[in-house]
A and B are shown apart, each in its own frame.
Chain A
Amino acid sequence: MTKKMFGMIIGAVALLLLGVLALGWRPARPVERSIIVEAEKYAYTPAVIKVNKGDRITLRLKAKDVTHGFFLEGYDLDAQARPEMPLFWVRRPSTGEAYRTVEEVRFVADREGKFRYRCSTTCGYMHPFMQGELIVQPNRLFPASLVLAVGVTLISLLRFARAGGT
């Protein structure tokens, strides 16, 4: 492989990466968001919630068919909703406390990344796989790992092409 070709490839990739990084680093003004999550065997609607870091979230949980849970990773929140009930139940799992009845839950999305919300109340066969995703942007791990993947490949190829190391 010629040096010129490598130069071109690296240039193109660098541009791409800059683009990705720029997207990832776009600053966003925090906003209020009100989200209603509906749970039904074996999924949540919305399945993916995208917010920006700092957004203030007001969450309501509804169950459409049977009792479902809602364990949100990274935010120390576990909830439970029963069908036909306007209220639902929440607790902070880290404290081991019992569920409290609430109308809505408020929290600030202050931790960036990808967090799954999973069903925490056995609701049927596929219950262990019932989950949705809360993506708090910028989810820096994703662009960073894409960059690393490209980097691993480019550096490997460069090292292979050159005599000396493996």
Chain B
Amino acid sequence: MATIRNQPAPPHPDEAPSRTWRVNLFEKFPWLKRVVKARSFQFSMILPNLLLFYLFILAGLFGTPIGSRNIIIVFVWILWWFVLITLMVPLLGRVWCTMCPLPVFGDWLQRRALVKVRSGDTVGLRNKLFGLNKRWPRKLSNIWLQNFGFLFLAIFSALLVTRPIVSALVFGLLIGLAVVLAYVYRLRAFCSYLCPISGFLSLYSMTSMIELRSVSADACQKCTSKACVRGSDQGWACPWYVYMGKLDRNNYCGLCMECVKSCPNDNIALFARPFASDIKLKGYDEVWKACIMLVLALSYSVVLLGPWGHIKNWANISESGNWGGFAVYASATTLLALVVFPGLLYLVVRLGQWLARAREHTSRELFIRLAYTLVPLGLLAWIAFSVPLVMVNGAYIISVLSDPLGWGMNLFGTAGFHWQPLWPAWVPYLQAPILLAGLFWSLRTGFHVALDLFGDRALATRALAPLSVFLTAITMVFLALFVG
């Protein structure tokens, strides 16, 4: 089988230092449990998005080439993106994956069913699954492909978010890839290892205020069926190949809720928890993801939201044709994300290690664990970046609703709505506190990570000191861009 990504949990999740409270939502809202246990749950969540998506892709292919008048651009890159990054991810984690239409055709190829479940025996799983069911290569069982894929797409983002046709083609390509991978490989190889959205969802869902976990670790230990991961006649094997008994982070659970249905011991529940409760990064792939995301937030803030026209022209390559400029922009972003930024991070971590005279930990371990501090700050920097997106460009939603293809229709009489930003002068007053909150959460979780590593407040503080300066400096750079 594919590698199990979830290493043994700490003795009990509640002992993690950042956890002050935890509420079992299934106990509190029994209707919620009934809803997610319904066989039709996930498909009902996907269906509306599938229909919308279909409309968006058509609009991308046949609608106006002007982004701000085409529903695919306005709804995906303004509305969807904003809701995803400011609400879904911080509050509900990977809930987008619950309703995401991209893998639905691939799922169907494997399951030949949209709602019902089929028991059987396929490669050790207790369901009948179609397709070749090959094993995903072990070497690629990490998020490096997602890292590179996302960075690549991001470099072309100025085209992606302004050209309807580019958006439509990229989404089509992703669906196609998901189908091919679902046919060749078992379970959701596309989601786990390739989907460019998946990488940042996995990283930032560590902060989210919900988690799906087993209720009793003991019950899992005694459980012989392991139906959560292997499936049963009640639910499909976990498409992400997660064994609930050891799940201790949100990263690689797509919240499809199959395990809730298949667990014979009724041992899985959705919990509410404090912001940024998962604080353990586990590999270089995840560290680089955190670096890439933060650098991209910075790069987008400069390129898209900055006043510098020549940089916009470099990024807007298909129109400007300035390949020299594009090379500068692309290589600067790539170098910063893959080399310079991780390098600086490594330096400040080493400095902290030296200050704390910490020899019992390898610098690799400290680097990976402390890189977590980029997660809350990165997420909030993305949110700060997205605030003007919706307050300023959100006005296009109103006109595009009436004229989704930009063909001059007027379905609801709002097509003529003149573009008008919503309280734009207040944007910096929202962005500054958002960034400061990100800094606060980064430091706080960084301290918990350090305390976890050193078990001593004074040592933890020393180890964290240089990193705090680094994080403060990053915050200041964003402040300079947004409010300076």
Q: Enumerate chain A interface residues (CB-CB to B < 8 A).
A: 1, 40, 42-45, 47-48, 71, 73-74, 93, 111, 113-116, 118, 120, 122, 124-133, 139, 141-142, 145-146, 148-150, 152-153, 156-157, 160-163, 166
Q: By the criterion CB–CB under 8 Å, are B313 and A42 in contact?
A: yes
Q: By the criterion CB–CB under 8 Å, are B479 and A149 in contact?
A: yes
Q: A74-B425, A149-B436, A152-B440 are in contact. List 14 more A-B contacts (CB 8 A).
A: A43-B307, A44-B309, A71-B421, A114-B483, A122-B68, A125-B316, A127-B67, A128-B67, A128-B68, A128-B396, A129-B312, A131-B305, A149-B439, A160-B457
Q: By the criterion CB–CB under 8 Å, are B471 and A153 in contact?
A: yes
**Does any Cβ of A come within 8 Å of B111's Cβ?**
no
Q: By the criterion CB–CB under 8 Å, are A127 and B68 in contact?
A: yes
A149 to B380, CA, bound (A): 14
What residues of A have a CB within 8 angstroms of the CB of B418 in the complex? 93
A129 partner, pick from B305, B440, B479, beta carbons under 8 A: B305
What residues of B have a CB within 8 angstroms of the CB of A130 in the complex? 309, 312
- Interface flags for B420-453 (1: CB within 8 Å of A; 0: not) read 1100110011001001100110011001100000
Q: By the criterion CB–CB under 8 Å, are A125 and B162 in contact?
A: yes
Known: A145-B436, A166-B17. A160 touches B471 (CB 8 A): no
What residues of A have a CB within 8 angstroms of the CB of B310 in the complex? 43
A126 to B440, CA, bound (A): 34
Q: By the criterion CB–CB under 8 Å, are B66 and A122 in contact?
A: yes
B309 partner, pick from A42, A74, A122, A153, beta carbons under 8 A: A42
- 18 residue pairs of the A-B complex, CB under 8 angstroms, read A43-B310, A71-B421, A73-B421, A93-B418, A111-B425, A122-B68, A122-B69, A125-B163, A141-B483, A145-B432, A145-B436, A149-B479, A152-B440, A152-B472, A153-B443, A156-B444, A157-B464, A162-B457
Q: What is the minimal beta-carbon distance from A59 to any residue of chain B, in angstroms?
A: 16
A110 to B308, CA, bound (A): 26
Q: By the criterion CB–CB under 8 Å, are A47 and B309 in contact?
A: yes
Known: A47-B308, A126-B158. A166 touches B421 (CB 8 A): no
Most A Cβ at <10 Å: residue of B307, B439, B440 = B307
A132 to B312, CA, bound (A): 12
In the complex, the chain A residue whose C-beta lies closest to that of B65 is: A125
A62 to B251, CA, bound (A): 51
A42 to B418, CA, bound (A): 20
A133 to B443, CA, bound (A): 32
5 closest residue pairs by CB, A with B: A43-B309, A74-B425, A47-B307, A73-B424, A145-B432
A126 to B162, CA, bound (A): 7
What residues of B have a CB within 8 angstroms of the CB of A111 in the complex? 425
Q: By the criterion CB–CB under 8 Å, are B472 and A150 in contact?
A: yes
Most A Cβ at <10 Å: residue of B460, B461, B464 = B461
Q: By the criterion CB–CB under 8 Å, are B309 and A118 in contact?
A: no
In the complex, the chain B residue whose C-beta lies closest to that of A144 is: B432
Q: By the criterion CB–CB under 8 Å, are B419 and A125 in contact?
A: no
What residues of B have a CB within 8 angstroms of the CB of A71 in the complex? 421
Q: What is the minimal beta-carbon distance from B322 to any residue of chain A, in angstroms?
A: 13
Most B Cβ at <10 Å: residue of A93, A125, A131 = A125
In the complex, the chain B residue whose C-beta lies closest to that of A5 is: B465
**Does any Cβ of A come within 8 Å of B475's Cβ?**
yes
A95 to B158, CA, bound (A): 34
**Does any Cβ of A come within 8 Å of B319's Cβ?**
yes
For the residues of B in contact with A, the DSSP-based class is helix
Q: By the criterion CB–CB under 8 Å, are B476 and A128 in contact?
A: no
A124 to B316, CA, bound (A): 11
A127 to B460, CA, bound (A): 48
- Interface flags for B394-432 (1: CB within 8 Å of A; 0: not) read 001000000000000000000000111100110011001
**Does any Cβ of A come within 8 Å of B304's Cβ?**
yes
A160 to B163, CA, bound (A): 48
**Does any Cβ of A come within 8 Å of B215's Cβ?**
no
Q: What is the minimal beta-carbon distance from B394 to any residue of chain A, in angstroms?
A: 11
Q: By the criterion CB–CB under 8 Å, are A129 and B304 in contact?
A: yes
A48 to B306, CA, bound (A): 10
**Does any Cβ of A come within 8 Å of B23's Cβ?**
no
What residues of A have a CB within 8 angstroms of the CB of B307 in the complex? 43-44, 47-48, 116, 131-133
Q: By the criterion CB–CB under 8 Å, are A153 and B469 in contact?
A: yes
What residues of B have a CB within 8 angstroms of the CB of A128 in the complex? 67-68, 162, 393, 396
B468 partner, pick from A45, A115, A156, A163, beta carbons under 8 A: A156
Q: What is the minimal beta-carbon distance from A53 to any residue of chain B, in angstroms?
A: 14
Q: By the criterion CB–CB under 8 Å, are A152 and B465 in contact?
A: no
Q: What is the minimal beta-carbon distance from A121 to any residue of chain B, in angstroms?
A: 9
In the complex, the chain B residue whose C-beta lies closest to that of A124 is: B319
In the complex, the chain A residue whose C-beta lies closest to that of B468 is: A153
A145 to B461, CA, bound (A): 24
Q: By the criterion CB–CB under 8 Å, are B428 and A113 in contact?
A: yes
Q: By the criterion CB–CB under 8 Å, are B484 and A114 in contact?
A: yes
Known: A47-B308, A166-B17. A153 touches B476 (CB 8 A): no
A150 to B471, CA, bound (A): 10
A111 to B418, CA, bound (A): 25
**Does any Cβ of A come within 8 Å of B480's Cβ?**
yes
Residues 45 to 80 of chain B near chain A (Cβ within 8 Å):
66-69
Q: By the criterion CB–CB under 8 Å, are A93 and B420 in contact?
A: yes
Q: What is the minimal beta-carbon distance from B436 to any residue of chain A, in angstroms?
A: 6
Q: By the criterion CB–CB under 8 Å, are A141 and B428 in contact?
A: yes
